[in-house]
Amino acid sequence: KQTLLPLLKEEISSFIFPCKPAVQRPERQHMVMELIRCIPLLLFLLFVCGLDHFIFTILSVIQNHSFIEYSYQASHHLSVNVMGTSLMAQLLRGTIGALNTSFESEVETSNLVCLPRPTGMTRQQYLNTCLPLGLLALLCLAQVYPFRLRRAIAAFYFPKREKARVLFLYNKLLRQRKNFLHLQRGRVARQAWQPPELGTVLLRWCRRRWPWLRRCLRQKCTLCGTPETPQHQPCPNPDCFALYCESCW
């Protein structure tokens, strides 16, 4: 309707235009909230990966520095010599001589079987672990575009409800614009009663003294703060130095 268009700059920031590819302010707020909800999952994933790497490091240190190898060698020799040529000596040689033994043993063992054998995760495994969370964050960024279709789908199935919503929005904007003008007039009036700052007075004096400096020392709109352009309108009161952009004027 002509009573609403064109929209003010403050009103544009509160609407979602479906044909704009950029993420708009209301969508950005919802998107940020969805991304904040992903932070606990990200922290949990970092904690699990860090714990896995920490345990792998400890087990690797144990495996590399706790290896012990044992080597045991033993020898045993027993020899009984019976001297003499008598019958008793010959008898003792036949009986006790059987006890002569020679024994040698060598044993080598280690604790290799008891040591842990850790296997660290590869980069591909870490990437596969973090991939679902990355897809979730990507969906949080891309969900704003499918959400724009909700109004069109609801309007297709419930045209009467859509008409009531449009009428409600129209009346709401009229009330907001009326209140906005009332509040802005009061703010500008209070600002006009306040004494100007030293920098503002110096800026005005430079603009009057050297008009060619207006391209560099540009003023701003009193309401929205946009830089000065040729379309800006000054206040018709000669004692007022207020400047307004085209939409605010």
Per-residue pLDDT in tens (0 to 9) along the chain, 249 residues: 556 677 777 788 888 888 888 888 888 888 999 999 999 999 999 999 999 999 999 999 998 888 888 888 888 887 777 777 777 777 777 777 777 778 788 888 888 888 888 888 888 999 999 999 999 999 998 898 999 999 889 999 999 999 999 899 889 888 888 887 788 788 777 777 777 665 666 666 666 666 656 666 667 777 777 777 777 777 777 777 677 777 777
Indicate whether 15 and 131 sit together in one domain: yes
Q: Name the strand (E) or helix (H) holding 155.
A: helix 149-157
Residue 164 lies in a domain: no
What total of structural domains would you count in the chain?
2
Residue 180 lies in a domain: no
Would you tell me how many other CB atoms lie within 10 Å of the CB of residue 149?
10
Q: Which domain holds residue 220?
A: 196-248
Indicate whether 242 and 126 sit together in one domain: no
φ and ψ at residue 123, rounded to 5 degrees: -65, -35
Residue 103 lies in a domain: yes
Query: Alpha carbon 24 to chain centroid distance?
Result: 20
End residue of a domain, out of 110, 128, 157: 157
For residue 115, count CB atoms less than 10 angstroms from its CB and return exposed for 0-12, middle for 13-18, buried for 19 or more: middle
47: which residues sit within 8 A by CB, 6+ positions away? Answer: none
